[in-house]
Every structure is written in C-alpha cells, then in structure tokens.
A and B are shown apart, each in its own frame.
Chain A
Amino acid sequence: MIENSFNRRDFLKVLGWGGTAVALSGCGNTSIQDGVETVVSYVEPPEYAIPGISVYFNSTCAQCDAGCNITGRLREGRVLKLEGNPNSVINHGKLCGLGQAGVQAHYNPDRVREPLLRNGDKGEVIAWDKALGLINEKLSGVKGDEIAFLTGGLSGHVKVLLNNYLEALGSKNHYAYEAVSPSVVRAANKKAYGVEMPRLRLDKAKVVVSFGADFLGAWVSPVNFSQQYAKFRKADENGRGVLVQIESKMTLTGANADRWIVIRPGTEGILALGIVNALGASGVSLPADVAAVSKAYSSERVSKDTGVPAEQIEKLAALLKERSPSLVITGSAAEGYAHGSQNAAAIALLNRVLGNIGKTIEAPANVPFPQVAVTTGNRSSVQALNDSLANGKIKVLFSYGTNPVFTAPTALKFKENLGKVPFKIAFAHYLDETSREADLVLPLDSALEDWGTSVPEYLGEASQLSIQQPLMEKLHPNTKGLGDILLALLKQRREKEYKDYEDFYSYLRSAVVKNKSALGGSGEDDDTFWTNTLSNGIVPFSASSNNLSAKSSAAGLVLPPPADENSGYPLHLIPSVTASLRDGRHANQPWLQESPDPLTTIVWDSWVELHPKTAAKLGIVEGDIVEVTSRSGSVKAQAYLFPGIHPDAVSIPLGNGHVALGRWAKDVGVNAFGILDQVVDKETGELALNETRVKISKTGKRVFIVKDEGAVGGSQAGVKIAVRVSTDDVELSGEV
C-alpha cells in the first residue's frame, strides 16, 4: 500500500475517515475468505453450525432510519427471526413490528433477482458486467452536473463510496429524499438548540408535553423512546411521569397520553405561546424577548384560536410549573404547515422557559467522522431534483432507497419529469413505482445478505458505527450489494485507488481495521479486532458530545392566525404516518399488512378517519366509500368514524395504494401522498404535509370494514376487560 501514489488524505477519504485525526495501522492484507466464514456455508460447515442449534449474528436493522441493532437467529443457514441486540444503546434488545418484518423483506418473493434493461415496457435480463459497462458508456460525455443521485437518508461506508463516486463523476447532485422525515423540526432544533436532533431524556422528565410527536409509533427512534417511556412511566423517585399529547389527529403516542388535547389544525404554536403566557402569569419568570411575544396570547384568545379550553391551558401550565424537569417535544403534527418552522420555534421556547434545556434536552453524542455521518433525507430535495428534471438538466439519474413516484405529490408531476431523463438507473429491492420507470434496474442484496455500516440517525446515549453483515447466503445469485456496485463503478473511474479492494467486504474490513485504534481497538491484532467488531455488530465511537446552545429566541416569531374556514375545501387533511407502513416502502411485507392498525384495528386497506360529529353532519356512516378531494386530486376510500380527531380534520394513513411493489402491496388501499397540495414551509421549503384542504363526498357505495375489533367497536360493553384507574385510587409506590 505504501507504493500507492495517492496521498494519505485521499486514502482516508477512500476509506471514509476523512476530516479527522485517524491513527492508521499497517494494512494487513485482506481476503474474502474471512468474509465467507461469517456466512454459514454447508459445503464445509463451520464448527459452530450444529444442525438443530440456533446461531446468532449481529447486524443492523434497515427497516427505518432509527437503525436499531439486531440479532438474527439462524438455523441450518437460514435466518428465522430478528431480535434486538441486547448490547445496543439504541434498542437494548428490543425490536418493533416493523423491524421484526425485516425477514419478510429478505425472503420476499417479489424481489428483483436479475439486472433488468428496459426494452419498451419490458425489462430484459442482462449480465452484470454488461449492465455496469452500459452505465460507464452512458456516463461518457455527460457533464458532472448532468448526473444526479437520488437516495434516502444515507450514512456509513456506502455513503462514503457514493460521495466518492459522485466526486469521481464531478457531480454535486446528491439528493437525499425522505418523504416523512421530521426535517422542519430538525431545522428548528438547529436554530433553538444548535443541534438538529438533541437527545431527548423522557426517562428524566416528570412531564412530557408532545406536540404531535408520535415517538412511540413512527417518530425518529420509536424503540428507543418506547424504552425511555417505560422508565418514565415507572413510579420511581421521579414519580410516575405524565404524558400530555397535543395534536389534531390522535397518534399511537396520543392514545397513551394521560391527557390527549385535541387542537385546531395548525395552531400548535399559538397554544405553546399561550402556555408560556400562562406560565408567566403563574409566576414563572419569562425572558424579556419571550414575554414580549407571549403576552399577546392570553388564555382566552388562545382558547378561542386553538379550541383548547382556557382552564385546560391553565391546568397544563400549573402542572408544568409544579413538576420539573419536564420535556416539550415538537412533532410532525406541528411542523406540517406553511408556518411549521414558527410552530416549532414557539414550542421550543417552552423548553427554554421551563429550563429543560440541558436537563431533559441534552446534547447528542457526535460522530467524529463526518464522511460516515448521516445525511438526513428531507422533502425539499425532491422538489429541487424535480425542478432540474423538469428543465431537462439531468441526463443520468441514479436512484436508491426511495420511491418519489409514489411519495411525491402529484402536483409535482414527478413521474412525467422523470421521463425526461435519458438514462435512469435504479438500485432496487423491488420493482416499485420509481424503479419501474428506470431504464436499468440493478437488483440489490437484501439487508440481511449485504455488508455495510451505518450511523443511527438519532444518537441517544452514545454515537456508534453499526455493522451490517450478511446473516445468510444470498437467496438469489444475481443480486449485489450496493457497496459492491458502487465499488465496481468507482473502479471504472479510479482504478488505482480501489484496486486493492476485491469487493465491498474487503474494502469495509480494511476500512474498519485500519482505523481500529480510533475505534477502540488499539493493541488488538486486525483479525481479533475485526472478529470482535462483527460479533458485536457495534463499533462505539469515542463519544465527545457536542454542546447545546440554548439560543432559542422569540425574536421575530410571528404566528399566523388560525386558518380561515375554507368553504370550498372545509376540512384539513392530516395524512397519518403509521408505525408499520411509514412512507409505504414496506407495504409488501404481509405481517405489516395483517397486523391491525393500533388505533382503528383496520387491516389490508386504507381508510378515511372522520370525527363522528363530522360524519353525522355529512350523513356518513362507517364503511361508506367516500371521495376525498383536494385541489390536487382525489381518492376514494372507506370511512371510519374515529373519535380521536378534530372535527375539522380528516386523516388518511400513508403507505398503501401501491400500483407496483409486489403481490401484497399492489392495489391495496389508496395513496394519500397523491392528493397533497404542494404547499411548503416558508422557512425551510419543506413540503407541509398537513396543509392540504379537502372536501368529502359520499359515493353511495358501502363496505364492511375489514378490522379486528368486533361488532361493538371499542366498547367493553360493561365487561371488566381493560381496566383504567386514576392516580388517586392506586398505590404505585413499591411496585416491583
């Protein structure tokens, strides 16, 4: 390696440790054999593989951005079940339903198995070398800024290779797109606390006030938060924590709140300032700038605007004053408006006033290696990309891990614009709506067959590099890991820098091993360190946590008055992100389709949530097929009368309504993304998910809703089944 002509910095960049002090160790030469060992092969069974006895391998869950560490249970070389990795600081051995379903992503019969080249409407199987050659060929003579890469949130060494490849192509167009990411909140947090996602200490808080953050369901890192929640609920020295959820449509978290406060859509910020004001009135000292803003928000006015009773506000303020520390969380419900940033800012003020910053809002551990750190996806990126597509700037488009044709609002005409790109390459697990449009589809290994590293998007107790390793042999011989593909593509460009790495595995190994001293492996020899790394599945970074700045300021905070009643489109559409389906990429995993939605118990379909009052007004009963029409389109779905929603709002879950993807997803339900209006948050330019206004009309059809709950719905009919007790009537102390 010494004779490598390119200098050390480049070398670090190649391996992904660029930008920081790294102590490189001498490079032990690598062999694929090491790699194969961790895959149970039965030609020569390794001694640990005893038929009938399970073996466990650690890896990383790829089902959502939380990146929980998982342990796969193997028998006879087949991965059977995913459990949480007990040593993980993220999920401490726990795993959510979505994560459990990872095996179904792996064994899914609808995966792409061969490289496919478009020929008319059909995809023709071609060989890998041909495919890669074709890419090279298509790229020749294309200017760098005519090449774009569309991905989801990305981190770890795949991201490193990707960026290096882009650089090799001389392109800066990396668009990271996540349809339901909390991007506005991140921006607001950055402003308020100096970090995009501070570490939230629910376990420390006595009161948690969440403005529509579904942290138990689908928000940021649910499993981690759920565990904190359990601690928070325990009647320990802090006493049993109190959860107040403020939102217009009940989320799973809302369903678990001690007090669920329904609020007029979009007025979260106003309520926040109202509470600030009430706090001030109750004797909490307010900083001048805050007081200046909040004084205008008397409980009466706020109650008028938000529809939250004044005494409720007083009560909440009293509780917050009395029980400290508390924690106020801004969630998707609050951010999803044209004034989402202001909402978030106003809510952030509460934490400042209550002095939670530093107590329950802590600095997250930081990632010493920016190259591998997370590139979070957002919604504005796809708009940006869409613009350049629209005016034909892009000649070659790579897409991976995201499905804009499905998730982008139809208003964007993304699909049409995509058509303008001469050559589109999709790295795909399934033929989803986007990869169907591609000219070249490259089949990827499943997350349980592939090598990789990643950095969790939400860093709790510590920052770490999560190792993703194959849990079993490939199911399909002709799929490849994204890393391998990128490596191959890079070799087309930068032969000499990458020639030492026969494949992504060897690349990864040397990358990790070479940096072992910085990764806490100094002293160990390469093989030991690497083996330990693989068996742990986690490489903790030496955690130097970056510090918070409590600089959230009320200066220039203006909140618009509540949205006026729009006669043409009287109702707010609140697309709900469910814990299992999220943005719909996992819709083809039958366990997720068949596990009932926690709040409605509906399966295998989409539905329109209506408050019984609203339904009565419109003469709608459960099971009516209703047409929900926005300015941008309309969908037809079954109506479900749902008490946990504001009467001025309707809600449709996201994730279903695929026209492709696979046998279990195709033609199930409707796609609510489609009818979203292209309204963006003024500050960040993020699509405002809750800004769409709709009207509802009956189609006259009616169906039996397929759901788990029985004829009497959510009633216990006077039978003592699930019992609830008030804190007054129960002795929690001393519980084991």
Chain B
Amino acid sequence: MSVSNMLENWSKFRHMHPVDDKPHEEYKWAMAIDLDACSGCNACSVACYAENNLPVVGKQKFDAGQQMHWMRIERYWDDDGREFPDQGAQFMPMLCQQCEAAPCETVCPVGATNHTADGLNSQVYNRCIGSRYCSANCPFKVRYFNWYDYPTTDNVWPAEMTQQLNPDVTVRGKGVMEKCTFCVQRLERAKNNARTEGRLVHDGEVQTACQQACPTSAITFGNLVEPESKVAKKWAHQQVELAAKDVQAKDEQEGGSDLRGYRIFEELRAYPSVMYLERVRESAI
C-alpha cells in the first residue's frame, strides 16, 4: 500500500538528486564539446536528422521559427564593432544539455519528462500532452515542439523517404515536445549488449550520431561514472564538477582559471551534462 511504502522509505524519497551523495550508480552519460576543434560544418546536425527521424519543415515553417533541429550550430561574431571578423566566427553546437537539475522536469504537469538513472533528461512522447511548460522553462531553448503533424505533412517524408526512417526511434506526431536524447536508442542497445555479457558498457563502445559524424572529433561522449573514460578524464582535467554545490571551485580562485572547460549558465545551477571547451585564438598573429 502506497502510504506504508511512503513511510518505510521516507528517507530515500527525500534524497535530493544530484546534490546529495552518489547521484549515479553505473552510468552518467555526459559530453564534452571542444569549441576550438569545432569547425561549424553542420555534419552533426545532419547526422542527427538522419538518426532521429527529424522532420524537414521547409522554408515557411522554418521562417515561423518552427524548425526541429535538435542539434543546432550557432554562429557568433565579435561584439566589439570591429570592421572585419579578423579572428573568425565562433561556432556553438547547441543541443539539450541533459541538465542534472533540469528546469524542464519539475514543471511538466504529467511527468512526461523525467530524470533517468543514468543521468539523462528523458522525454516520454506518449505521455506528453503538449502544455509546453518544459520549453517555457528551458534556459537553452533546446526543446522542439511538433507544431504540426509532420508524418502526414506534404514533402516531409514523401513516398520512399519513409523507408529511411530509423525504426529504433519513434516518429513523433502532432502536439508532443521533443529534444535531443543523447541518442538514447544507441545507449540502450549498448547497455543491453553489455548486460547480456555481464559487464558495463566500456568507453567508446557507444557513440552519439553527432559525435560519430563530427569530422574534427570535437565531441567527446561517454560515461562520467567511469573515471577512465575519455569524457571523465576531460571533465576532471578541466576541473568541471557535475554537481558543483554553488559555483565551480576553479572559478573561485582569483585571476580565474586557465583551463578551458565551462558550462553555459552555470549560475542557474541546472548542472548541465555538456561541458564546452573554450575556443582558443593565437595571440602571436
């Protein structure tokens, strides 16, 4: 009976993820994106379209701001009013940051977006009723809503195009929210394989579509719990802590840190699972 269960496990139910001890058991999927390597070529974005059955909305809907790119490459110029961008542009691959304390999760009225055991910010399409509160509360605005019923919209997946759709990924219908899943279908497959072999997924065994495509290997993805994984090493070396209690310790020291790792909107304390590495520019030229 629910009440007795509640009383028995009270302390467990009061455990606050992720700031309390041991937020993750076996897996914590995380990413590191090196902005110095990223060339802004868009390969990741297209790969995402291919892997995750993203609809191509066409010019008119793109104009209306209804595009569905889970992975978007943002391009920034220097703001200092220089005549020419003589240090190039800055590219920012922006995808769902899979926050550990995700603002989107708490506000969903039906619990369609939740936190999974391996640290993903899951989105349950079947459960979503389309209140769009999650998107409203997302600081990064990386959630994308199905404003139309794309599967039945002209020239989204006409004729043979449907055969390209990835059977591992749902094709979302009208009125549900969707977003980057860290290619959860690949993660699940890898985990199942590992489980049948009675081991954990080892580093590099599973890649996200964007990571796999990236020609400059700017994207590192893996399990943060496993200290030897590439991503864990990167985070460790950059001294970026997943659930930094208040701010990252390294930013406290005076003069700031000379490491490149940072997370966007650290101050909002959503604890993103994506670490970015600052873009570097040569001072000698």
Contact = CB atoms under 8 A, between A and B. Distances in A.
Interface of A: 52, 75-76, 78-84, 91, 93-97, 100-101, 103-104, 107-109, 216-217, 222-223, 226-227, 229-230, 233, 240, 242, 244-245, 250, 252-262, 315-316, 319, 322, 475, 579-580, 590-596, 598-601, 603-605, 613, 643-644, 663-664, 668, 704, 706, 708-709, 713-718, 720-732, 734-736
Nearest to B50: A81
Contacts of A613: 83
Given A76-B167, A259-B86, A730 B237 contact: no
A83 B258 CA distance: 36
B39 to A, nearest CB: 5
Which 7 A-B pairs have CB atoms at the shortest separation, nearest pair first?
A226-B215, A97-B46, A604-B59, A714-B77, A258-B282, A255-B89, A109-B159
Contacts of B237: 734-736
B281 A724 contact: yes
Contacts of B278: 723-725, 730
B161 A599 contact: no
Contacts of B128: none
Contacts of A663: 155, 158
B39 A226 contact: yes
B37 A643 contact: no
A315 B90 contact: no
Contacts of A103: 50, 164
A250 B36 contact: no
Interface in B62-120: 62-63, 67, 69, 72-77, 79, 83-92
A285 B83 CA distance: 36
18 contacts: A93-B212, A95-B213, A95-B215, A97-B213, A103-B164, A217-B39, A230-B216, A254-B88, A258-B88, A475-B160, A591-B46, A594-B56, A644-B84, A714-B75, A722-B35, A722-B276, A723-B262, A724-B278
B46 A107 contact: no
B167 A75 contact: yes
Given A97-B41, A242-B284, A722-B91, 12 more contacts: A81-B47, A96-B215, A226-B216, A255-B39, A255-B91, A260-B86, A591-B46, A594-B69, A708-B67, A715-B77, A722-B276, A725-B281
Interface string B229-250: 0100110010000000000000
A644 B74 contact: no
Contacts of B152: none
A726 B283 contact: yes
B2 interface: no
Contacts of A593: 56
Interface string B165-178: 11100000000000
A231 B166 CA distance: 33
B116 to A, nearest CB: 23
Contact of A315 (B91, B166, B276, B285): B285
Nearest to B89: A255
A83 B41 contact: no
Contact of B85 (A475, A643, A706, A727): A643
A260 B87 contact: yes
A259 B43 contact: no
B42 A720 contact: no
Contact of B285 (A82, A91, A256, A259): A259
B215 A94 contact: yes
Given A601-B75, A727-B281, A81 B51 contact: yes
Contact of A258 (B67, B89, B217, B281): B281
A721 B91 CA distance: 10
A254 B84 CA distance: 12
A257 B279 CA distance: 11
Contacts of B217: 94, 227, 230
A677 B51 CA distance: 43
A238 to B, nearest CB: 13
A537 to B, nearest CB: 17
B184 to A, nearest CB: 16
Given A257-B88, A722-B74, A731-B258, A242 B40 contact: no
Given A260-B87, A735-B237, A222 B215 contact: yes
A598 B56 CA distance: 17
Given A80-B166, A594-B56, A663-B155, A96 B63 contact: no
A703 B242 CA distance: 45
Contacts of B90: 722, 724
Contacts, number: 287
Interface in B249-285: 258-260, 262, 264, 276, 278-285
Contacts of B86: 259-262
Contact of A604 (B58, B92, B260, B276): B58
Given A721-B92, A722-B74, A730 B285 contact: no
Contacts of B63: 704, 706
A94 B46 CA distance: 13
B142 interface: no
Nearest to A706: B63
B42 A256 contact: no
Given A100-B50, A109-B158, A724 B42 contact: no
Contacts of A91: 215
A188 B77 CA distance: 35
B250 to A, nearest CB: 12
B46 A101 contact: yes
B31 interface: no
B43 A726 contact: no
Contacts of A250: 85, 88-89
B208 interface: no
B161 A107 contact: yes
Nearest to B217: A230
Contacts of A721: 74, 76, 92, 264
A322 B282 CA distance: 14
B218 interface: yes
Contacts of B161: 104, 107-109
Contacts of B76: 714-716, 721-722
Contacts of B262: 720, 723
A724 B282 CA distance: 11
Nearest to B266: A720
A260 B85 contact: yes
Contacts of A580: 42
Contacts of A230: 37, 215-218
A257 B63 CA distance: 31
Contacts of B50: 80-82, 100, 103, 591
Contacts of B58: 590, 594, 604
A82 B164 CA distance: 11
Contacts of B206: none
Contacts of B29: none
A319 B77 CA distance: 25
A411 B39 CA distance: 36
Greatest chain B CB density within 10 A among A242, A256, A714, A720 is at A256
Contacts of A233: 36-37, 216
A95 B50 CA distance: 12
A591 B49 contact: yes
A603 B281 contact: no
A590 B68 CA distance: 13
Given A252-B41, A258-B281, A591 B56 contact: yes
Contacts of B233: 736
Contacts of B41: 96-97, 216-217, 222, 226, 252, 579, 598
B57 interface: yes
B45 interface: yes
B43 A100 contact: yes
Contacts of A596: 42, 72-73
A230 B160 CA distance: 37
Contacts of B213: 83-84, 94-97, 100
B147 to A, nearest CB: 15
A516 B285 CA distance: 52
Given A256-B39, A731-B259, A594 B88 contact: no
Contact of B40 (A252, A709, A725): A252
